[in-house]
Amino acid sequence: MRGAALLITVAVAFVTAACGDHAPTSPSSSTPTTSTVTFAGRLGVGDARFYSFTNAAAGSVSALLASVAAADTRLPLAIPLEVGIGVPAGTGCPATTTQLITPGLVSQMTVTLAAGTFCLRVADAGGLRAPAAFAVRFSHP
């Protein structure tokens, strides 16, 4: 009987200690919100275009070159373009990671970046013979 009384006393002590003046906290989400952006434009022979974006948190940035089409007829072209990610500098985007990508509807490039300001660059890799329209879809935290 003495053991049971001791056990009850210890249990009451733990319950009482757990009841403090602390306000309850709501659970925090560890999954950052992801933004999806479509960057579209016109690219001349030998040209490059870029789009600046801000990563709210560190995480994966994935991109796909959705389409390349003749600027005048809008007919699809199977010409690869150079897609790169870097840090904007002045009026340019010196890419630190680049890939030659043919249009497709699957993620073709994934890089992990810290929080901060970055840019996505699309450039003629030497295959364009006339201006083209392009669309790149990418997601970032």
81 falls within a domain: yes
Residue 29 lies in a domain: no
Which residues constitute the domain of residue 67? 35-140
Contact criterion met (CB below 8 Å) for 5 and 104: no
Q: Does the residue 87 lie in any domain?
A: yes
Show pLDDT as tens, one digit a residue, over the chain (141 residues): 454 443 344 343 433 444 444 444 455 555 668 999 999 999 999 999 999 999 999 999 999 999 999 999 999 999 999 999 999 999 999 999 999 999 998 889 999 999 999 999 999 999 999 999 999 999 999
Please check whether residue 9 lies inside any domain of the structure: no
User: What DSSP string describes 37-55?
Assistant: EEEEEEE-TT-EEEEEEEE
Give the total number of structural domains in the chain. Answer: 1
Q: CA torsion 135→52→96→66, rounded to 10°? A: -10
Assess if residue 66 is contained within a domain: yes
Has residue 125 been placed in a domain?
Answer: yes
| CATH code of residue 128 | 2.60.120.380
Closest CA to 34 of 137, 127, 132, 130: 137
